[in-house]
């Protein structure tokens, strides 16, 4: 789906400005979003039967990333 909406190999203004070839990565990442909120009940994560948490790297090259987990509640 992301390949159809934001394909590699077409012109992105980002690439014209920065010349790094990852304009498609920025469009894809903006569609997915930077964060996720997951409910917990009695200390257990509340996911549906077929749900899972997946981390996606959208950039064109390898990057070092940090995952920040913030727990808010009573």
pLDDT level of residue 34 (50, 70, 90 thresholds): confident
Q: What H or E segment, with its residue span, contains residue 18?
A: helix 13-18
Q: Which residue has the higher pLDDT, 62 or 18?
A: 18
pLDDT digits (tens, 9 = 90+) for 3-31: 999 999 999 999 999 998 999 999 999 99
């Amino acid at each position: 789906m992301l390949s159809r909406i934001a394909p590699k190999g077409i012109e992105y203004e980002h690439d014209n400005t920065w010349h790094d070839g990852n304009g498609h990565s920025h469009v894809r990442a903006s569609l997915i979003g930077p964060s996720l909120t997951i409910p917990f009940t009695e200390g257990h994560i509340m996911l549906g039967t077929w749900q899972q948490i997946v981390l996606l790297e959208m950039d064109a090259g390898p990057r070092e990333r940090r995952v920040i987990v913030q727990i808010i509640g009573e």
